[in-house]
Structure 1
Amino acid sequence: MIFGTLPSGRQVERVELSSGRLRAEVLTYGAIVRTLEVSGVDVVLGLDTLDDYRTRSRYFGAVVGRYGNRIAHARFTLDGAEYHLPANDGTHSLHGGTEGFDARVWTIAARTGSSVTLTLVSPDGDQGYPGTLTASVTYTLEGDALRVDYAAETDAPTVVNLTNHAYFNLKGEGDVLDHVLRMEAGHYLPVDAGKIPTGELAPVKGTPFDFTEPHAVGERLDGGYDHCFVLDGGVEVTAGGLTMQVTTTEPGVQFYSGSMLDGAATPYGPFAGLCLETQHYPDSPNRPHFPSTVLRPGERRTSTTTYRFV
């Protein structure tokens, strides 16, 4: 089903998935999860038109890459060579640059009634990154869960950090300040004024970042979270009689509470949705003590994240 046509003339498809009480719409533009309905309630923020996604989006539902999150000063060194990226977040590079994977048309490689696999080839030098990278994402509805499987391969050494940037609102309306969050995460990554990690893995105990015991998003820090947490287990969010359980093979999750949504540039105001971006840590290419995001020829980087609704 055609969702829209880009100025280039290339068409964007919409794929409908269903399984049990779950329904989803996935776009080939940005590999976007446009809707995710649980018993008829749409729990992700989506936009109405392709033009909205091109001009009014804050990565709503998209796969971001090659590198999700921030790389400091838009540069990194790999095997002795320095690579320069577009600076699209002050002096830093965010979510792959000025034209990341969220703004590309992916190709449908396979589909069933409950699953779709999308692929994208990013050429050598794309947004400054070395190597031709072949990426794929598979969305599968299985029972009461959305499973997301990522994979990437390269023909030259590079860095990669794929994640999905869906904004969740389990009530389907209002804000998420009353959503109760619990995270099995004993540490988080403090950041500087540019939201770049300082390099420390700080204990959450005794800080507003302690979600090891559940509390509402808006209870501390005025709800203003945009931080990476070091996962020891899963994440759980509850609101409106619905609970979403998140499990992942990734070492971290960026919890963003949607505080910077402004209601003018996008159709949504502050705190309309929250993001749980499962990923490797921000700025890992410049932090050797962080888990490595380097991918080399002959290797295949895979990860899986599951969102289960109970």
Structure 2
Amino acid sequence: MTARLTNHGARLMSLTMPDGNGKPVDVVLGKDDPHDYATDDTLMGAIVGRNANRIQGARFTLDGREYQLTANEGANSNHSQPNGYEHRNWTILETGDSFVRFGLDSPDMDQGFLGRFRVSVRYALIEQGLTITVRGVCNATIVANLTTHTYWNLNGEGSGDILGHQLHIPADRFYSTDEQFIPLPGPAGRVDGTPMDFRRLVSIGERLRVGALKDDQQLAIARGYNHAFPIDGTAERRLKLMAEAVGERSGVRMTMYADAPTVLLYTAGFLDDVPGKNGHRYGPSAGLCLEPGFVPNAINRTDCPRPVLPAGQEYQLNILYRFG
């Protein structure tokens, strides 16, 4: 197994391994040349921060102080863009045969967030797997919600869509959203009898067909999936199964563990003829993202874990991928 990375956005550019027949397959969507990420607005392979996903109204209140962020998606803030971590040149702190560690110094009021946030991310190849270890500390109490925005296609990047992939997410609840992908008020709904039920390994396309038959508006809004699934037990800050996916043609199986409270499933419904590796063009459902983190807009909610990091306390996000 081999990985390629770039310090531009601390991105995973490729991950290549044998498929079921021993043929090398690159399972990560991306670019051939690191410089091409400078114009990428899809966050391929990037570490996203300070806050991944959406904040409603691009504003929040923390410790009695109201903060106004840049509204880059209608009235909302999404992925802390347009000045997100995905377009920063991270410092290369350490390298080895099987790992690299990047660092970023995010100054006070960067992106509208209080405090100087010093963060690092370490990618390491291990036997039959990959780990992503994120650490950070700030001199003020801040919002801290980072994630990886890697697009996976376990049949190989550029091989077509991922609708034939089988997917398992061990969640019995999910958050419905409005048309701007802000989770609706109230508790997460049950997945029973909905296209959101991935409690057993099932084809993504099969679930979408069920949704089409039911005229499911959640799927129509997202052109597939762009939904958060809370995972029970992750408040214990230990690695827990978040998702499992299998490429139906390659036989490659990926199992993801993380210590985040939620995983967001995005099936890339809004990719539109994006230039990729090897002359490939990526369209809708060319990959799927599994983003461990907090519920979108959690900083403005009181009914779920909030991404608040007290001053001087270490931020941690640990992700483990196992392949077979």
TM-score by length of 1: 0.90
For residue 263 of structure 1, the aligned residue among 254, 257, 273 is 273
Aligned residue in 2 for 1:229: 229
- Separation in 2 of the partners of 1:90 and 1:57? 16
Counterpart Cα distance in 2 of 1:74 and 1:177:
33
Check if 1:277 corresponds to 2:285: no
Q: Among residues 29, 32, 54, which one is paired with 1:45 in the alignment?
A: 29
CA apart distance, 1:265:
7.2
Structure 2 letter corresponding to 1:246: M
Give the secondary structure class of the aligned counterpart of 1:193.
Answer: coil
The residue aligned with 1:212 is: 199
CA distance in 2, matches of 1:67, 1:254: 14
8 Å contact 2:140–2:312 — kept in the other structure? no
Between 1 and 2, higher relative CO (CA 8 Å, sep ≥ 6) is seen in: 2
- 2:45 paired residue among 30, 40, 61: 61
Output aligned runs, 1:236-247, within 5 Å: 236-239=244-247, 240-247=250-257
1:253 match: secondary structure: strand
Q: CA deviation at 1:206?
A: 1.1
Equivalent pairs counted in the alignment come to: 289
Measure, in 1, the Cα distance between the counterparts of 2:76 and 2:154: 32
Alignment-mate amino acid for residue 72 of structure 1:
Q
C-alpha distance in 1 between matches for 2:33 and 2:77 = 27
Residue 9 of structure 1 aligns with which residue? none
Letter in 1 for 2:315: R
SS of 1:221's partner is helix
Check conservation: 1:217, 1:257, Cα contact below 8 A.
no
**Deviation of residue 56 (structure 1)?**
3.4
1:154 is aligned to: 138
The amino acid across from 1:224 in the alignment is: G
Aligned to 1:14: none
Contact 1:106 1:119 in 2 (8 A): yes
Deviations 1:143-169 (A, max 9, x none): 011111111110111101010000000
Match of 1:195?
Answer: 181
Give the 4+ runs in structure 1 shifted more than 3 A. 264-267
Could you report, residue by residue, the CA deviation over 1:158-194 in whole angstroms, capped at 9, with x for unpaired residues?
Answer: 1010100000000101110100001111111111111
Q: Name the counterpart of 1:92.
A: 76
Please state how far the C-alpha of 1:212 moved relative to its aligned partner.
0.2
Does residue 1:177 correspond to 2:191, yes or no? Answer: no
AA paired with 1:276?
L
Aligned pairs for 1:75-90 (under 5 A) are 75-90=59-74
Map of 2:260 onto structure 1: 250
Looking at structure 2, the residues matched to 88 and 216 of structure 1 have their Cα atoms a distance apart, in angstroms, of 33
The DSSP-based 3-state class of the residue aligned with 1:167 is: coil
Q: In the alignment, is the contact (CA less than 8 A) between 2:117 and 2:139 conserved in 1?
A: yes
TM superposition shift of 1:254: 0.7
Q: Which moved more, 1:65-74 or 1:197-206?
A: 197-206
| CA distances 1:126-148 after superposition (whole Å, capped 9, x unpaired) | 11011111111110110011111
Alpha carbons 2:272, 2:282 under 8 Å: kept = yes
Q: Equivalences for 1:127-138 in 2 at 5 Å? A: 127-138=111-122
- How far residue 234 of structure 1 moved from its aligned partner, in angstroms, is 3.0
Which amino acid counterpart does residue 54 of structure 1 have in structure 2?
A
Name the SS for the 1:168 alignment partner: coil
